[in-house]
Each structure stands twice: as C-alpha cells, then as structure tokens.
A and B are shown apart, each in its own frame.
Chain A
C-alpha cells in the first residue's frame, strides 16, 4: 500500500515537473543564411568624411561602431541633452 502511495507521489511529481519544461517557440534566427545574396555588416565600412557627421570608427571595429550608434541613440534623449 505504502509502495503504491510512494509510486503515485513520484508519478505526480514527475508529471508536475513535465509542465516546467518549455519548448522553444521562436523560429531559429537566420543570420545571413537564406536563399538570397549575402550582405555585409554595417561596421564593415569606413566612416563618412567628418562633414557628414557620421562619427568615427575603424573599419570592421564593431564595438567602436556600436559606440557611435549609441551616441546617436542618446542624442534622441532631449532631457539629457538639454538639462545635463
């Protein structure tokens, strides 16, 4: 009897835990792998001449390019731009 109870409890625990597992629901990202032509990365370019105000980064330096983009993003924050 006790064994049956134990087994039942074990089964209940297993069933309860099954609900905790989660199936991946997001489709796999396709980074540049698709039927079309390959594209290069935004940071794989030289920055524009200074008069076009595109900032500076070294060609291929992703971190520097991201810093430049972040500067532009924060320039949209007029509370910081104006008051600080």
Chain B
C-alpha cells in the first residue's frame, strides 16, 4: 500500500462543516481542539467562494516529526503520522513547524496552561493497544483497525473530502475532473484565485451587507 492521504475537492465542498462535526463526535475531541476545520476564501463573494477542509496531511517528510525535541512522532506502515502523548511535553514546536496548523493544544486555567499536543490521527489511534479504552481516551477511535476509513471522509455528503491511499483517491479525483471536462488546471492557483501567480486579483464584487452566519 502506498500512503494514506486526504484530498479535498474545492469545487464540491459546500462548507457544511459536517466533516468537522464527524471528527469531533467520532473521536470525542475536547472543547477548544479542532483536529479538522474548513477554510473558506472569498467568503460571500458570488462565484468566487471556495472552501476546503483541512486537517493533518500526514506529510511524507513531516516537519513536525523533524522538530519534536522529545522525538515522540512515528509513521505507520500506511504513512500515517502519529505521536505518543505520554512523551509529548506540549512545547508547541510542532505547531510552528506544521504548514497546516494541524497540531492543537487543549488549554486550561487562567494562564492558558497548554496541554499535550492533539492532532488528526487519520482515525488510526496511537501507541496503545488497538481499540482499547486507553487508546480511545488519548487518541480517539481507531477506525483503520476496524477496517474503515476516517469518519470525516466517509461521511462527507458531497464526497468532496476523500481519504485513503494516495494513489486510489487521486484516481477517483482524476476521473471526476475528466468528467467535468477539465484538466490539470482544476486544482491550483488559478482555479483558487482566478489569476496566474503574480497577476492582479480579479475585481471583487462587494460582499452582501448582511453577513453570513
């Protein structure tokens, strides 16, 4: 098997936040920690609004893994980046290193005491016996060990968010793009921003006066 990855189709995502909710529910993620979130650009601009759902991307050459001073990250044989919470000292280096802001820290108390790092596990738990209570309490559900895929991707209503082996989901995405009659231009700078890198952005229509809730 190649490597487990997420892929979010910006032309399908409707910013329903269902994936965020599914993740919260499946893993009983504490208040204040978002393992997954939906990022929207050009919010409210008709025709230019795009959303993608982002979590840990399980980098092949993970910066978080490289900077952790206590070396508590590991990579599974399926390419999922996980960490050992027993060892984590909550220093926050991984948060600075991560290009996606994936590592999250539960905060408590008046001084914002920072807890141990928590991030998307690709629903693969952590270094505790698979599907045990200890694993669930620390890392959430281990759906891979149940023969399933991450809850966010599996329940996405529009199937914008795909999760699984990079090769397989890339093939699914490619087939979609071809059906839409488009090519490699579908995912990239010009699709997202309507211009080539370095060119002027399009003239934006004024956002509606009543803000979106």
Contact = CB atoms under 8 A, between A and B. Distances in A.
Q: Are A and B part of the same complex?
A: yes
B145 interface: yes
A47 B172 CA distance: 26
A6 interface: no
Interface stretch (B20-28, B68-76, B197-205): B68-76
Contact of A36 (B74, B131, B145, B146): B74
A24 to B, nearest CB: 11
A78 to B, nearest CB: 6
Contacts of A38: 127
A42 B176 contact: no
B5 to A, nearest CB: 11
A35 B176 contact: no
B147 A27 contact: no
A54 B145 CA distance: 9
Bin chain A's interface residue count: 35 or more
Per DSSP, chain A at the interface is loop
A35 B147 contact: no
B162 to A, nearest CB: 5
Contacts of A29: 75
A77 interface: yes
Contacts of B179: 79
A42 B65 contact: no
B131 to A, nearest CB: 7
Interface residues of B, number: 47
A73 B164 contact: yes
Contacts of B1: 66, 69
Interface in A28-84: 29-42, 44-45, 47-48, 52, 54-57, 65-66, 68-70, 72-79
A18 interface: no
Contact of A54 (B65, B130, B146): B146
A27 B66 contact: yes
A15 interface: no
Interface of B: 1, 60-61, 65-66, 70-78, 82-84, 86-87, 124-131, 142, 144-149, 153-154, 159, 162-165, 168-169, 172, 175-176, 179
Given A25-B61, A34-B84, A73-B164, 17 more contacts: A27-B61, A29-B75, A34-B72, A36-B71, A36-B127, A37-B86, A39-B74, A39-B126, A42-B78, A45-B145, A48-B147, A68-B147, A69-B164, A72-B164, A73-B165, A77-B159, A79-B179
